[in-house]
Amino acid sequence: MTFVETHPFHDEHPIPEGTRTLVVGTAPPPRFGNPNCAEEGAHPLDFHFFYGSGKNRFWQFMNTIAKSFNTPLPGDKAPAAEYQAAACKFLVGHGIWMKDVLQTYERRPECSSLDKDMVAPKLQHLTDFLRVFDEHRQIERIAFTAEVAARWTFQSLNELELHQRYKQTITNRKSASGPEQSDASSECAKFAARFMTPIVTAEISGRRIEFFQLPSPSLSSFPSKGVTDDCLTTIYKRVLFAC
């Protein structure tokens, strides 16, 4: 029997008041929540927060965005606690926070960090997003960092038809053909077009909510050839900061 993990950040870092944009993933790597995997994939830049794996590019993107707002985050040599505090302040200042879809979960193999190795969750193991939307009335935008996170979120919301629309739109965007590309900037524009607008919008909890799909920040997920980290950062800034 595999170890049942409890999400390590949800209780410690609840959604702040004033959050308008919620970033939704699946769960952090097992070393953050399973003592049997504490050394599996450990990285010197790890810190105890959402996307806190030193191998994840999310905070690399945020570092660049923070600099563009003239509010740079601490450098790599800063203590983890200092970086975490600055990261939280930066997010709160822009009405952004995180809430993964899984509350409790199992993996097979136990120490795999891949979403495909998550045991399919039951409804009671998912974050209750209806409650989240009721308690945080200013949330107006959801940005998924994994397609499986979208599927389980719509399962939590009991919005299976909405999930079908979501899947179809993603499929259409992936298969859409465009003109031949001749340079990196045009390749980025073609790639980014899949992410810049909502996949679906819906009336939930008495208000309109937009759902976006971000490119995965995981190093195990590689975008199209010619799509740089600068291109991915542009997508994250546009979707999360609406600019």
Residue 85: strand, helix, or coil: helix
The 3-state DSSP composition of the chain as helix, strand, coil percent (nearest 5) reads 40, 15, 50
| Total-model pTM | 0.92
CB 192 within 8 A of CB 231: yes
Q: Has residue 10 got a pLDDT over 70?
A: yes
Residues 77-111 have pLDDT tens digits of 999 999 999 999 999 999 999 999 999 999 999 99
Architecture of domain 5-176+193-241: 3-Layer(aba) Sandwich (3.40)
Query: Directed axis angle between helix 229-241 and helix 184-192, to 10°?
Result: 40
Residues 153-208 have pLDDT tens digits of 999 999 888 889 998 998 888 787 544 444 556 778 888 888 999 999 999 989 99
Domain boundaries defined on the chain:
5-176+193-241
Q: Among all chains, which residue has been given the structure tokens 């399962």?
A: 155
pLDDT above 70: percentage of residues in the chain: 93
Which carries the bigger pLDDT value, residue 237 or residue 186? 237
Q: Is the dihedral of CA 221, 157, 13, 17 positive or negative?
A: positive
Distance between CA 149 and CA 25 in Å, rounded? 5
